[in-house]
Structure 1
Amino acid sequence: MGEITWRYRNFELDASFLQIKQTEVTQISWYKYAFYIHVISAVLALPAGFTQFNKTILRNYPRVHHVLGYLYVAIILGCAAPSGFLIGMKANGGLIAQIAFTVLACLWFYYTLQAVLRAKIGDFKAHKNFMIRSFALTCSALTLRYWKVILVYFFHPNPMDLYQLIAWLGWIPNLLLAEWIINQNK
């Protein structure tokens, strides 16, 4: 993800993925801002999220857990999920992909917010479960790309058909895995 994000370091409007989004970049005033906010904030959420489930950090460095947790939450609630929703409304692949990405953004926001609210009232089991769900959706950026490589390698689908499929495969299996993990820890 770092490599992919690095491609956008100069905030060019025709870099990488944006080459196929020129209609949005030139005709929708907010699109480029939402796109860059999403790319930068989402890549920061990944390392912040990976630290949250480390038992050593939780046990020995609770302050680190809290600081990185608040950073993770601020990134998602303030930047990554709202900008993801906006760019999801203009996703390639038409309505099928647009629904997938906007639902993803809404669930990502909801699960992250619920995790915070549960921690505030001291329900740390529910907090952990909502954070597992939230982080599963954070990882959709990774799994979407893995699915793309696998499906292109084996099946060579039409690009728009592929995009419609990976829009859903990027996060639904992650969420199912999160629910399985939650159920295993009951």
Structure 2
Amino acid sequence: MAEITWRYHSFALDANFLMIKQTEIEELWWYKYAFYTHVCTAILALPAGFTQFNLGLLKKRPRLHRTIGYMYVVSILGFAAPSGALIGSVANGGVFAIISFELLALGWFYFTWQAVRLAVQRKINLHRDFMLRSFALTCSALTLRFWKVILVYLFHPNPMDLYQIIAWLGWVPNLLLVEFIIYRKNHNLQNHYGLPDL
């Protein structure tokens, strides 16, 4: 992701992916600003998120955990998710891909906001669950590109068909996996404390 992001370091309007978004750049005054806001802030969320589930950091350096958490939250709620919703509204692949990217942006914002709200209320277990959901969507930046490489290598699909597929594969499997992890964790806690299985 660092290598991909570096391709945009000059803020050129024809860099990498923007080569195929020239119509949007010419017709929508806001597109270039939303795109570069998304690129510059989403890349902060990935490394920040990777540190947040480190129990050693949480127990030994709680202040650092909170500081990095604030960076993660501000980058998503203030910049990356709203700009993602904007550029997603004109995504390649037509309405099927647009719906996916809009749901991704909305879910990313909602899960992150809920995680903050629950942390303020000191509901730590629920806070952790929503942070897991948020980070599953943060990682769509990685998994989307992973699926793109796999599908192109195996099937050589039409580019527009590819966008429609990876738009959903980038985040839906991530979220399903995290929901399974949360379910197993909560189920194990119920068994451990002899609580009824809901």
Provide the TM-score with structure 2 as the length reference.
0.93
Q: CA deviation at 1:183?
A: 1.1
* 1:181 Cα deviation from its structure 2 partner: 1.1
Structure 1 gap ranges (5+): none
Provide the residue aligned with 1:106 in structure 2.
106
CA apart distance, 1:26: 1.0
| Structure-1 residue corresponding to 2:18 | 18
* Local SS of the residue matching 2:154: helix
Deviation at 1:156, TM superposition (A): 0.7
Report the Cα offset of residue 66 of structure 1: 0.2
Give the corresponding residue for 1:164.
Answer: 164
2:60 equivalent in structure 1? 60
Distance in 2, matches of 1:76 and 1:184, equals 27
- Equivalence map 1:148-159=2 (5 Å): 148-159=148-159
1:79-99: CA deviations, max 9, x gaps? Answer: 000000000001000100100
CA distance in 1, matches of 2:8, 2:154: 29
Q: Which residue of 1 aligns with 2:144?
A: 144
Deviations 1:10-33, CA, capped at 9 Å, x for gaps: 000000000000000111000000
CA distance, structure 2, for counterparts of residue 61 and residue 122 of structure 1: 18
d(CA) in 2 for partners of 1:177 and 1:60? 29
In the TM superposition, what is the alpha-carbon distance from 1:35 to its structure 2 partner?
Answer: 0.2
* TM-score, normalising length: structure 1: 0.99
| 1:27 counterpart = 2:13 | no
Q: Output the CA distance in 1 between the equivalents of 2:74 and 2:128.
A: 17
How far did 1:111 drift?
0.1
Unmatched tracts of structure 2, length 5 or more: 187-198
| Letter paired with 1:119 | A
1:37-75 deviations in Å (ceiling 9; x for gaps): 001110110000000000100110000110000110000
Q: Which residue of 1 aligns with 2:174?
A: 174
CA RMSD of aligned residues (A): 0.5
Q: Number of residue pairs matched?
A: 186
Displacement over 4 Å in runs of 4+: none
Amino acid at match of 2:149: V
Match of 1:97 in 2: 97
Provide the C-alpha distance between the structure 2 equivalents of 1:97 and 1:64, rounded to a whole number of angstroms: 38
Identity of aligned residues (%): 66
